Amino acid sequence: MNNVFIILVKPQLGQNIGSIARVMKNLNFKNLRIVNPRDGWPNQDVISTAAGADDVITNTKVFDNVSEACNDLNYLFASSARKRDLNIKTLNLVNTVSSLNKTEFSRNDFKFGVLFGCESSGLSNEDLITANQLIYIPSNSDFSSLNISHAVSLICWEFFKFFNELILDQNSKVSINTFPKIKDMDYFYKNLCEKLNNSGFFHSDLMKKSIMENIKVLFNRAELSSQEIKTLNGIIKSLYEYNKQA
Protein backbone atom coordinates (compact mmCIF):
# COMPACT_ATOMS: atom_id res chain seq x y z
CA MET A 1 0.00 0.00 0.00
CA ASN A 2 2.51 2.60 -1.17
CA ASN A 3 -0.13 5.26 -1.79
CA VAL A 4 -1.59 5.26 1.76
CA PHE A 5 -0.23 7.48 4.55
CA ILE A 6 -0.96 7.21 8.27
CA ILE A 7 -0.50 10.62 9.92
CA LEU A 8 -0.29 11.04 13.69
CA VAL A 9 -0.81 14.56 15.03
CA LYS A 10 1.05 15.36 18.28
CA PRO A 11 1.21 11.75 19.55
CA GLN A 12 2.23 11.49 23.19
CA LEU A 13 3.31 7.94 24.02
CA GLY A 14 6.16 6.21 22.25
CA GLN A 15 4.54 2.84 23.01
CA ASN A 16 1.48 3.83 20.98
CA ILE A 17 3.59 4.92 18.03
CA GLY A 18 5.54 1.66 18.19
CA SER A 19 2.31 -0.37 18.28
CA ILE A 20 1.01 1.57 15.28
CA ALA A 21 4.20 0.87 13.32
CA ARG A 22 3.86 -2.83 14.14
CA VAL A 23 0.25 -3.14 12.98
CA MET A 24 1.09 -1.15 9.85
CA LYS A 25 3.80 -3.71 9.08
CA ASN A 26 1.31 -6.55 9.77
CA LEU A 27 -1.12 -5.13 7.22
CA ASN A 28 1.48 -4.00 4.66
CA PHE A 29 1.22 -0.25 5.18
CA LYS A 30 4.58 1.45 4.74
CA ASN A 31 4.14 5.21 5.18
CA LEU A 32 3.99 6.77 8.66
CA ARG A 33 4.09 10.53 9.17
CA ILE A 34 4.20 12.29 12.54
CA VAL A 35 3.41 15.91 13.39
CA ASN A 36 5.19 17.27 16.50
CA PRO A 37 5.64 14.11 18.61
CA ARG A 38 5.67 15.09 22.28
CA ASP A 39 8.77 13.10 23.25
CA GLY A 40 10.85 13.83 20.16
CA TRP A 41 11.85 11.43 17.41
CA PRO A 42 12.88 8.71 17.53
CA ASN A 43 12.69 7.55 21.13
CA GLN A 44 13.48 4.23 22.76
CA ASP A 45 9.86 3.39 23.64
CA VAL A 46 8.93 3.54 19.95
CA ILE A 47 11.78 1.29 18.87
CA SER A 48 11.25 -1.35 21.56
CA THR A 49 7.47 -1.55 21.02
CA ALA A 50 7.69 -1.66 17.21
CA ALA A 51 9.53 -4.99 17.50
CA GLY A 52 10.25 -5.96 13.91
CA ALA A 53 8.69 -2.98 12.13
CA ASP A 54 12.09 -1.29 11.87
CA ASP A 55 11.59 -0.33 8.23
CA VAL A 56 8.38 1.57 9.05
CA ILE A 57 10.18 3.45 11.84
CA THR A 58 13.24 4.17 9.69
CA ASN A 59 11.12 5.61 6.87
CA THR A 60 8.88 7.69 9.17
CA LYS A 61 8.78 11.39 8.30
CA VAL A 62 8.34 14.11 10.95
CA PHE A 63 6.65 17.47 10.23
CA ASP A 64 5.99 20.74 12.05
CA ASN A 65 2.32 21.02 11.12
CA VAL A 66 -0.57 19.19 9.47
CA SER A 67 -0.42 21.25 6.29
CA GLU A 68 3.19 20.26 5.61
CA ALA A 69 2.43 16.61 6.40
CA CYS A 70 -0.45 16.49 3.90
CA ASN A 71 0.36 18.92 1.10
CA ASP A 72 1.37 16.23 -1.42
CA LEU A 73 -1.76 14.11 -0.87
CA ASN A 74 -4.78 13.99 -3.17
CA TYR A 75 -7.34 13.06 -0.53
CA LEU A 76 -7.42 13.21 3.26
CA PHE A 77 -9.54 11.37 5.82
CA ALA A 78 -9.65 12.33 9.49
CA SER A 79 -10.54 9.96 12.31
CA SER A 80 -12.69 11.38 15.11
CA ALA A 81 -14.79 9.73 17.82
CA ARG A 82 -16.48 12.98 18.85
CA LYS A 83 -19.35 14.65 17.03
CA ARG A 84 -18.32 18.02 15.61
CA ASP A 85 -20.31 21.09 14.61
CA LEU A 86 -18.43 21.26 11.31
CA ASN A 87 -20.41 20.50 8.18
CA ILE A 88 -17.88 17.95 6.89
CA LYS A 89 -18.86 14.77 5.10
CA THR A 90 -18.93 12.07 7.80
CA LEU A 91 -19.36 8.30 7.43
CA ASN A 92 -18.68 5.33 9.64
CA LEU A 93 -15.62 3.24 8.80
CA VAL A 94 -17.45 0.43 6.98
CA ASN A 95 -19.51 2.79 4.81
CA THR A 96 -16.44 4.90 4.09
CA VAL A 97 -14.48 2.01 2.62
CA SER A 98 -17.43 0.52 0.73
CA SER A 99 -18.14 3.88 -0.94
CA LEU A 100 -14.60 4.48 -2.24
CA ASN A 101 -14.04 4.97 -5.95
CA LYS A 102 -12.10 1.79 -6.67
CA THR A 103 -10.56 3.07 -9.86
CA GLU A 104 -9.32 6.24 -8.19
CA PHE A 105 -8.08 4.86 -4.88
CA SER A 106 -6.24 1.92 -6.44
CA ARG A 107 -4.01 4.13 -8.60
CA ASN A 108 -0.38 4.22 -7.45
CA ASP A 109 -0.13 7.94 -8.19
CA PHE A 110 -3.23 8.73 -6.12
CA LYS A 111 -1.95 9.47 -2.60
CA PHE A 112 -4.32 9.58 0.34
CA GLY A 113 -3.90 9.77 4.09
CA VAL A 114 -5.71 9.29 7.38
CA LEU A 115 -5.22 11.80 10.21
CA PHE A 116 -5.26 10.71 13.85
CA GLY A 117 -5.20 13.11 16.80
CA CYS A 118 -3.25 12.91 20.04
CA GLU A 119 -4.30 10.57 22.83
CA SER A 120 -5.65 13.26 25.19
CA SER A 121 -7.69 15.53 22.95
CA GLY A 122 -7.90 14.15 19.41
CA LEU A 123 -7.84 16.47 16.41
CA SER A 124 -8.55 20.19 16.59
CA ASN A 125 -11.19 21.79 14.34
CA GLU A 126 -8.37 23.54 12.51
CA ASP A 127 -6.85 20.15 11.66
CA LEU A 128 -10.21 18.63 10.76
CA ILE A 129 -11.12 21.25 8.15
CA THR A 130 -8.05 20.18 6.16
CA ALA A 131 -9.74 16.81 5.56
CA ASN A 132 -12.15 15.88 2.79
CA GLN A 133 -14.05 13.48 5.02
CA LEU A 134 -14.35 12.36 8.65
CA ILE A 135 -14.32 8.70 9.64
CA TYR A 136 -15.78 7.42 12.87
CA ILE A 137 -15.56 3.87 14.20
CA PRO A 138 -18.92 2.53 15.46
CA SER A 139 -18.52 1.53 19.10
CA ASN A 140 -20.12 1.62 22.54
CA SER A 141 -21.81 5.05 22.76
CA ASP A 142 -21.01 5.18 26.48
CA PHE A 143 -17.32 4.44 25.92
CA SER A 144 -16.42 5.38 22.36
CA SER A 145 -12.88 6.73 22.75
CA LEU A 146 -10.40 4.18 21.41
CA ASN A 147 -6.71 3.97 22.13
CA ILE A 148 -4.99 5.54 19.12
CA SER A 149 -3.16 2.32 18.21
CA HIS A 150 -6.47 0.42 18.27
CA ALA A 151 -8.13 3.05 16.06
CA VAL A 152 -5.28 2.85 13.54
CA SER A 153 -5.50 -0.95 13.61
CA LEU A 154 -9.21 -1.00 12.79
CA ILE A 155 -8.96 1.55 10.00
CA CYS A 156 -5.89 -0.11 8.47
CA TRP A 157 -7.68 -3.47 8.58
CA GLU A 158 -10.65 -2.11 6.59
CA PHE A 159 -8.36 -0.54 3.99
CA PHE A 160 -6.30 -3.76 3.87
CA LYS A 161 -9.47 -5.70 3.00
CA PHE A 162 -10.41 -3.07 0.42
CA PHE A 163 -7.10 -3.43 -1.42
CA ASN A 164 -7.04 -7.21 -1.20
CA GLU A 165 -10.61 -7.61 -2.42
CA LEU A 166 -10.13 -5.10 -5.21
CA ILE A 167 -10.78 -6.54 -8.67
CA LEU A 168 -10.38 -4.01 -11.45
CA ASP A 169 -11.67 -4.54 -14.94
CA GLN A 170 -8.68 -3.25 -16.88
CA ASN A 171 -10.75 -2.92 -20.04
CA SER A 172 -13.53 -0.83 -18.57
CA LYS A 173 -13.53 2.85 -19.31
CA VAL A 174 -14.25 4.73 -16.11
CA SER A 175 -14.30 8.48 -15.81
CA ILE A 176 -11.64 9.48 -13.29
CA ASN A 177 -11.92 12.60 -11.17
CA THR A 178 -8.32 13.73 -10.70
CA PHE A 179 -8.23 15.19 -7.21
CA PRO A 180 -5.99 18.19 -6.54
CA LYS A 181 -3.25 17.85 -3.96
CA ILE A 182 -3.72 19.38 -0.50
CA LYS A 183 -1.07 21.99 -1.36
CA ASP A 184 -3.14 23.06 -4.40
CA MET A 185 -6.20 23.48 -2.18
CA ASP A 186 -4.12 25.49 0.31
CA TYR A 187 -3.01 27.79 -2.52
CA PHE A 188 -6.64 28.24 -3.59
CA TYR A 189 -7.75 29.13 -0.04
CA LYS A 190 -4.85 31.53 0.53
CA ASN A 191 -5.45 33.20 -2.84
CA LEU A 192 -9.18 33.56 -2.18
CA CYS A 193 -8.60 34.85 1.36
CA GLU A 194 -6.08 37.42 0.13
CA LYS A 195 -8.41 38.73 -2.59
CA LEU A 196 -11.40 38.91 -0.22
CA ASN A 197 -9.27 40.69 2.36
CA ASN A 198 -8.00 43.22 -0.18
CA SER A 199 -11.56 43.92 -1.34
CA GLY A 200 -12.70 44.71 2.21
CA PHE A 201 -14.99 41.71 2.43
CA PHE A 202 -13.97 40.84 6.00
CA HIS A 203 -15.08 43.27 8.71
CA SER A 204 -12.95 41.69 11.45
CA ASP A 205 -10.31 39.03 12.02
CA LEU A 206 -12.92 36.90 13.78
CA MET A 207 -15.20 37.13 10.75
CA LYS A 208 -12.30 36.22 8.44
CA LYS A 209 -11.43 33.11 10.49
CA SER A 210 -15.04 31.92 10.65
CA ILE A 211 -15.80 32.49 6.95
CA MET A 212 -12.58 30.88 5.74
CA GLU A 213 -13.25 27.80 7.90
CA ASN A 214 -16.70 27.51 6.31
CA ILE A 215 -15.24 27.96 2.82
CA LYS A 216 -12.68 25.21 3.42
CA VAL A 217 -15.35 22.82 4.64
CA LEU A 218 -17.57 23.67 1.66
CA PHE A 219 -14.95 23.06 -1.05
CA ASN A 220 -13.36 20.04 0.64
CA ARG A 221 -16.78 18.42 0.88
CA ALA A 222 -17.40 19.09 -2.82
CA GLU A 223 -14.35 16.96 -3.80
CA LEU A 224 -13.50 19.14 -6.79
CA SER A 225 -11.15 17.99 -9.53
CA SER A 226 -7.78 19.58 -10.29
CA GLN A 227 -9.25 21.21 -13.40
CA GLU A 228 -12.16 22.67 -11.41
CA ILE A 229 -9.75 24.22 -8.90
CA LYS A 230 -7.73 25.72 -11.76
CA THR A 231 -10.96 27.13 -13.20
CA LEU A 232 -11.92 28.69 -9.86
CA ASN A 233 -8.46 30.25 -9.49
CA GLY A 234 -8.85 31.70 -12.99
CA ILE A 235 -12.29 33.12 -12.15
CA ILE A 236 -10.96 34.74 -8.97
CA LYS A 237 -8.03 36.28 -10.87
CA SER A 238 -10.28 37.57 -13.67
CA LEU A 239 -12.80 39.15 -11.30
CA TYR A 240 -10.08 40.72 -9.17
CA GLU A 241 -8.28 42.20 -12.18
CA TYR A 242 -11.59 43.53 -13.56
CA ASN A 243 -12.46 45.22 -10.25
CA LYS A 244 -9.02 46.83 -10.07
CA GLN A 245 -9.60 48.41 -13.47
CA ALA A 246 -13.18 49.52 -12.74
pLDDT by residue (tens digit) across 159-190? 998 888 764 434 444 455 678 889 999 999 99
Domain count, the chain: 2
Task: Clarify whether residues 105 and 130 are in a common domain.
Answer: yes
pLDDT digits (tens, 9 = 90+) for 24-62: 999 999 999 999 998 888 788 898 898 889 899 999 999
| Average pLDDT score over residue span 206-232 | 89
Is the bond leading into 42 cis (omega within 30 degrees of zero)? yes
Task: Clarify whether residues 114 and 199 are in a common domain.
Answer: no
Asked whether residue 174 is assigned to any structural domain, the reply reads no
> What integer pLDDT is reported at residue 149 of this predicted model?
92
Task: Clarify whether residues 112 and 44 are in a common domain.
Answer: yes
**pLDDT class of 146 with cuts at 50, 70, 90:** confident
Task: Clarify whether residues 129 and 193 are in a common domain.
Answer: no
Task: Clarify whether residues 145 and 190 are in a common domain.
Answer: no
> What integer pLDDT is reported at residue 246 of this predicted model?
54
> What integer pLDDT is reported at residue 171 of this predicted model?
42
> What integer pLDDT is reported at residue 148 of this predicted model?
92
Count, residues in the chain: 246
Asked whether residue 171 is assigned to any structural domain, the reply reads no
Task: Clarify whether residues 141 and 57 are in a common domain.
Answer: yes
Cα-based distances in Å from 124 to 28, 32, 106, 222: 29, 20, 29, 21
Write out the residue range of the structural domain in which residue 210 sits. Answer: 182-245
Asked whether residue 176 is assigned to any structural domain, the reply reads no
Say whether pLDDT at 80 is over 90.
no
Task: Clarify whether residues 158 and 193 are in a common domain.
Answer: no
- Look up the CATH number of the domain holding residue 224: 1.10.8
Task: Clarify whether residues 159 and 221 are in a common domain.
Answer: no
Asked whether residue 175 is assigned to any structural domain, the reply reads no
108 CB-near residues (< 8 Å, 6+ apart): 2, 3
**pLDDT class of 78 with cuts at 50, 70, 90:** very high
Is the whole model's pTM more than 0.85, yes or no?
A: no
- Look up the CATH number of the domain holding residue 27: 3.40.1280.10
Backbone angles phi, psi at 216, to 5 degrees: -60, -45
Task: Clarify whether residues 190 and 73 are in a common domain.
Answer: no
Say whether pLDDT at 8 is over 90.
yes
Asked whether residue 110 is assigned to any structural domain, the reply reads yes
pLDDT digits (tens, 9 = 90+) for 98-126: 888 887 888 888 999 999 998 888 899 88
Task: Clarify whether residues 136 and 192 are in a common domain.
Answer: no
Domain end call among 138, 165, 192: 165
